[in-house]
Structure 1
């Protein structure tokens, strides 16, 4: 299926672009990476071809591409190959995720006469299988982490703890499970195998000795088809949670020039060992005390964090991928690679840190992203440069963040001549980022980037988990947010004409009598009684839960200026029915008129006193672990919900009988949807009495 614009372009004759022979390139991906690839294609004068599923028909990458074709799924190899042929594309760029490391996809592209912008299928297979990859690089002299693998080793009998279980065909931290004792092993294997089968189509697992609190450092490599292989330095990726990277930087504050040379040489040898071509990343686990490093895996694709390498080298990795795929030489050697300044990247996710980082979702009501800035004379790596901000984003205002794809929304990247300045520039950029309608991790990212250990460069993969209490914002909502919400509702009550604009009321401000109007407002920390009297744009009287709060509100460009007790805050805002979203300094809050009745009836996650078990996130029911009528114990798993490739186990809030189970595997559920009801077990209660 094509849109009118795409159909018009498809009728036009193709023109050979640059790199040589590529006039059209299909992007077999979506979101921010598809938008980022389109940017380079446009700069090279190459026509971009996007693919999209029916639910992604209005996504940003579709709108920005020159041609857009519909496919059933992003994992449908035959449909994507057919789209490439139908569009007249000469090459296919897979981005990362989806089919990027699928050797069969690379083969099908070749069979269809299409250039796959990536390594040969044999290299993908050799490095995509972690078991085979370790054997291959070990034979090339690269140190590896001790471990075992299926089918030759019985990982169920592993006895060296702590240990890490991984899907052999996996990546991105998905399916990895940390095991600290033999008692945890059976459940860990079951969970890892289930995730491996669902995410990668291969349930084979491996197990490795877990190195406590190491640094995670990776080397970017590039190889052409003429035997030239170079590395572009390292990236520090130690700031992780649940094996998922959060903030990355280049260069590493830990790596010395001598260590960089040694690790870089090892990465180059790993790439040569499998006949690698294109851009790839060799990942190492590094002992922060001794500096000893061990090969972990090689990602045979572009990495999410590639922008930090681009900013410190001045190279466009997507352009280099295209040139290598077109048969061109790299044009530079190892001695030509120079690293200048420092770059830091933060991943913005649709997730709620206050709820255990559960995936979130919803419509993008208001979107504000910092403008990309440009360096001074000499470019990012040259003299005279100043701080640079770059945003790689797949978001568009009016779009919807659903639960079927990865929760990463965008990447905010900052470059500066030194690390301290880069971290400060990143913080400012995050503070100027707002996504109203979707809960994000931006406040968490700001807190992490400002943490003393991060500022000092004292990083390891366990730092985030240890510092979580300091980094995760509480569920409390600032009183100025509640006051602002009440003033907006007071100026333009829900149901009045005017929608989102509190000043667009048909008959002006409603003064009424000198009496209080009470708004019962529900936020993530409960229901509050907020009373308002007077003119909101001047000096309204506001009471929050019985406390007097002097407040005023006025229009301020595209937002609101709210003054509470003499202090003014500037907010973006958007109305969604009875819910008002307010955003400031990268944070956002949803405040809803309370309509349920009693504050105790407010929907919540599992553990409610009434025995109603609700979904903690929008997603799909993956497994049902109990049946109606079954007696269950507090904490017993009842339902597993999956969203954005993350599993969440919902448990029984108390002992009792599972009286209702209105869901089944494969069923989509919304946030706070009822999954089960656990009634008190009266028989047990009477016996105990």
Structure 2
């Protein structure tokens, strides 16, 4: 055993992931939680849980001293920071050492050096790693020298990672505003507003190498991961190994990563990230001094538990493996499940999950790393990632097929999510044939969204209507057999449901036959088990998962497709419409599309604005969302202040059309 008592200074799926390995090793786990997380799974699963005082991230999960005090008071031997929050904070690593608690990560010196992209670039150059041309300095210096790089350029935060604080700038006229916005984000998320300009590769691939280093000077790599499928610089699909990397290039990149790791004197798990151009030339990008979100794909192809290795290294043990011991086996793909709405420009979608059902396919090796096991609330204060779905198989083609099956059997109701989007993405010919880059999502976004809409019709919509109706009738039927006979007779009277403003008339002819509008549907099987309706129609088996919410509404999902349906009545519909109109919903009212924090108001009362001007910037789930003017107008009223938390559909600004 490496430790007796381990405190996990994190939350969500990574906290649950660490608990899983610690439990297998016989280590007692201690977790921390804010008031919003008191019902969370990591709190339920840990051996001990301790509340954090405070109401926001700075006073809870980012409060170094409060966390150290909890660890000392409860006799923790070590602290695992997970990723995000304090994982790459050198002061926290140092504070653990001063409190005689092992930090499950590198020392403060390594974190500080690699945590600044400028310093990391300089260090990489000293180790003969190729880097992209770049400029660092204050705003005036960057503006003066940007032309030396030629446009487009990448504006990025010198500190931090995870895609935060990165913007592509294609013309000099847009540079100043991009530097200002990037610096503001960097200061907010990383406490360092320094900005770096870097040469921008038009169609790069994002390749990263997993490394392990111990405190005795040993280092190895565990092959590479391809993380090119990104949206707004956030990874959404990762796979290992990369289908773009030859064995010779794999060895060259791996050796470069190990060389840098040893020169740094780095101990614990880390990742060396590279950009690769179309000529397979690669360039050092940065080093992440922590375990990565996408570490499971490496675990699946090597059979090595990276969290266990982290614990072993932190406790002072030598690496158990030499480079020749690491064998590449098969192919793994990870899909990140996010609370976001692909059909509304991927805006975050916090809220209450009414049904959560993970895949249960039997012919594929897969795992789900999630913070959830039941209906829960996704808070706007936290990252929008809900879970990670990881699939392994002998080849990339088989792994893609397995991931499609698993996504089809993953059901989340109550909030918008990207499951259907991901299923369509991995089914494209471009992805299957590995014709991808970091711009794949942006270049194919319209096609992917259009495919989602087409895919909605791949299953006869009437089957969704029947499943909903049969569930609704079955869960409300009488228990007495004689009353039930009369109940089903009454059910033959047509009632209405609505879908996307379309009204459908439906009636149960008998227990196996339904009439939808003027078409009859006879089923070979039609049964209800908990919240699942199973039906067999024309020899095909379908499983529909159903959750009900208020006002007779229901969410119905099958094979990655989700429909929102509701029972309808003339009186209820009339009340709904009148209520909507009475609220004065019209184009002159600027409404919050999601809950969040007002970080910037760009206008004042009386300002004349143009269509598409940015009125307000809302921060939700660690993302800035710009609220744009819908037309030329004059600002007549501002209903909120900077720093204010707002709810979805809350009025922000009133306009008078110019």
**TM-score normalised by structure 2 residue count:** 0.90
User: Partners in 2 of 1:490 and 1:218 — Cα distance?
Assistant: 50
**Alignment RMSD, CA only?**
2.8
Which of 516, 534, 545 does residue 572 from structure 1 map onto?
Answer: 545
Q: Structure 2: how far apart are the matches of 1:552 and 1:617?
A: 42
**Offset, 1:567:** 7.4
1:234 maps to which residue?
A: 224
Q: Is the 8 A contact 1:28 1:74 kept in 2?
A: yes
User: In the alignment, what sits opposite 1:394?
Assistant: 371
Residue 661 of structure 1 and its aligned partner are, at CA, apart by 2.8
For 2:303 and 2:399, locate their aligned partners in 1 and report how far apart those are by CA, in whole Å.
Answer: 16
Q: Separation in 1 of the partners of 2:123 and 2:390?
A: 34
Q: Deviations over 1:456-498 (max 9, x none)?
A: 12221112211222222556865955774587469759xxxx9
Change beyond 3 A, Cα 1:566–1:324:
closer
What corresponds to 2:100 in structure 1? 113
1:36 corresponds in structure 2 to 17
**In structure 1, the residue corresponding to 2:168 is in which secondary structure?**
strand
Deviations 1:236-257 (CA, angstroms, capped at 9, x unpaired): 1111111111111111111111
For residue 134 of structure 1, the aligned residue among 112, 121, 124 is: 121
Q: Given the alignment, which residue of 629, 646, 651 partners 1:652? A: 629
Mean CA deviation greater in 341-350 or 503-512: 503-512
Equivalent residue of 1:447, what SS?
helix
Measured after TM superposition, the shift of residue 151 of structure 1 is 4.0
2:351 to 355, 362, 366: 362
Query: Of 639, 650, 656, which aligns to 1:662?
Result: 639
1:623-634 pair list within 5 angstroms: 623-634=600-611
Structure 2 CA distance for aligned equivalents of residues 196 and 504 of structure 1: 60
Greater helix fraction, Structure 1 or Structure 2: 2
1:54 aligns with 2:32: no
| Partners of 1:372 and 1:118 in 2: CA distance | 36
1:387–1:417 CA contact under 8 A, matched in 2: no
* Residue 161 of structure 1 pairs with residue 138 of structure 2: no
Pick aligned residue for 1:344 from 317, 333, 346: 333
The CA deviation string for residues 603-622 of structure 1, in whole angstroms up to 9 with x for no partner, is 89xxx853222222222222
2:292 to 303, 314, 317: 303
Q: Equivalents in 2 of 1:671, 1:562: separation in Å?
A: 37
Once the two structures are superposed, the pairs formed by residues 122-271 of structure 1 within 5 Å of their partners are 122-151=109-138, 154-157=141-144, 158-159=146-147, 160-271=150-261
Query: How is 1:548-587 mapped onto 2 (pairs within 5 angstroms)?
Result: 548-551=518-521, 554-558=526-530, 559-561=532-534, 569-578=542-551, 579-587=553-561
| Distance verdict in 2 for CA 1:571–1:104, change over 3 Å | same
Partner of 1:672: 649
**Structure 1 residue 531 and structure 2 residue 505: aligned?**
yes
Residues 359-414 of structure 1: CA distance to partner in whole angstroms, max 9, x if unpaired? 112222211112497xxxxxxxxxxxx84111111113131111111111111111
Structure 2 residue 74 is the aligned partner of structure 1 residue 87: yes
Q: How far 1:575 sits from its partner (Å)? A: 0.8
Q: Is the 8 A contact 2:89 2:111 kept in 1?
A: yes
Secondary structure of 2:424's match? helix
Alignment of 1:299-448 (within 5 A): 299-371=288-360, 387-448=364-425
Contact 2:618 2:627 in 1 (8 A): yes
Give the number of equivalent residue pairs: 632
Q: What SS class does the counterpart of residue 154 from structure 1 fall into? A: helix
Distance 1:296 1:315 in 2: 25
Question: Where does the alignment leave 5 or more consecutive residues of structure 1 unmatched?
Answer: 1-17, 374-385, 682-689
Return the alpha-carbon distance in structure 1 between the equivalents of residues 180 and 575 of structure 2.
Answer: 42
Residue pair 2:488, 2:510 contacting (<8 A) in 1 also = no
Per the alignment, residue 68 of structure 1 pairs with 49
Q: CA deviation at 1:518?
A: 3.8
Q: CA deviation at 1:450?
A: 1.6
**Cα distance change of structure 1 residues 487 and 23 upon mapping to structure 2, 3 Å threshold:** closer
1:12-33 superposed Cα distances (whole Å, 9 cap, x missing partner):
xxxxxx12xx101011111111
Alpha-carbon distance between aligned partners in 1 of 2:100 and 2:413, rounded to the nearest angstrom? 44
| Inter-partner Cα distance in structure 1 for 2:28 and 2:166 | 39
Deviations 1:259-313 (A, max 9, x none): 111111111122123221100000000112x211110000000011111111111
Instruction: Using the TM superposition, name which of 444-453 and 49-58 deviates more.
Output: 444-453
1:601 Cα offset (Å): 8.3
Task: Tell me the distance in 1 between the aligned counterparts of 2:610 and 2:567.
Answer: 36
Q: Distance in 2 between matches of 1:310 and 1:668?
A: 40
CA separation in 2, counterparts of 1:221 and 1:398?
36
SS in 2 for 1:590: strand
Cα distance, 1:658 vs. partner?
2.6
Specify the alignment match of 1:618 in structure 2: 595
Distance in 2 of aligned mates of 1:26 and 1:431: 36
CA gap 1:236/1:491 in 2 versus in 1, 3 angstroms: closer
CA, structure 1 residues 185+597, in 2 after alignment: closer, same or farther (shift >3 Å)?
Answer: farther
Residue 618 of structure 2 corresponds to 641
After TM superposition, the structure 1 stretch with the greater mean CA deviation from structure 2, 476-485 or 668-677, is 476-485
CA displacement at 1:167 relative to structure 2: 0.8
Separation of aligned partners in 2, 1:503 and 1:93: 52
**Cα 1:490/1:645, change in 2 over 3 Å:** same
CA spacing shift, 1:647–1:598, aligned 2, 3 Å: farther
Alpha carbons of structure 1 residues 247 and 491: separation in structure 2 relative to 1, 3 Å: closer
Q: Report the counterpart of residue 57 of structure 2 in structure 1.
A: none
Q: Is the contact between residue 421 and residue 452 of structure 2 (CA under 8 Å) also seen in structure 1?
A: no
Question: Which residue of structure 2 lines up, in the alignment, with residue 540 of structure 1?
Answer: 514
> How far 1:100 moved relative to its partner?
0.4
Distance 1:131 1:410 in 2: 32
